[in-house]
């Protein structure tokens, strides 16, 4: 039996980075515009505590809303979610 689990299509950009990542991420994210109607998920290798400040800094420089992700948060269009430092990001 086949179940239809895809209820709606979502366009998502996934970014993973480590050393040198913050500058590259800022450059990419700052060029995105709200007319794209996308969600962006970012995993940056960074210690816990730093990702919230990183998200806040990006939020001031980008057209899309940027925030640190959290457990159970709903993924919305035109938002960028930064995985909290020390955690993996999973999507259901």
pLDDT in tens, the chain (92 residues): 444 545 566 789 999 999 999 999 999 999 999 998 999 999 999 998 899 999 999 999 999 999 999 999 999 999 999 999 988 888 88
Residue position matching structure tokens 């040198």: 20
Give domain status of residue 69, yes or no.
yes
Give domain status of residue 4, yes or no.
no
Residue 19, domain extent = 12-82
Give domain status of residue 92, yes or no.
no
Count up the domains in the chain and report the number.
1
pLDDT of residue 65: 97
Phi, psi of 43, rounded to the nearest 5 degrees: -120, 110
Give domain status of residue 23, yes or no.
yes
pLDDT of residue 33: 93
Give domain status of residue 60, yes or no.
yes
Q: Give the residue among 82, 17, 86, 88 at the shortest CA–CA distance from 48.
A: 86
Give domain status of residue 17, yes or no.
yes
Give domain status of residue 76, yes or no.
yes
pLDDT of residue 67: 96
């Amino acid at each position: 039996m086949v179940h239809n689990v895809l209820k709606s299509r979502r366009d998502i950009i996934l970014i993973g980075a480590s050393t040198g990542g913050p500058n590259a991420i800022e450059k990419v994210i700052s060029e995105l515009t709200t007319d794209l109607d996308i969600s962006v998920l970012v995993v940056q290798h960074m210690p816990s505590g730093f990702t919230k400040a990183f998200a806040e800094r990006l939020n001031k420089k980008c057209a899309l809303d940027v925030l640190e992700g959290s457990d159970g948060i709903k993924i919305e269009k035109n938002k960028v979610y930064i995985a909290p430092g020390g955690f993996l990001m999973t999507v259901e």
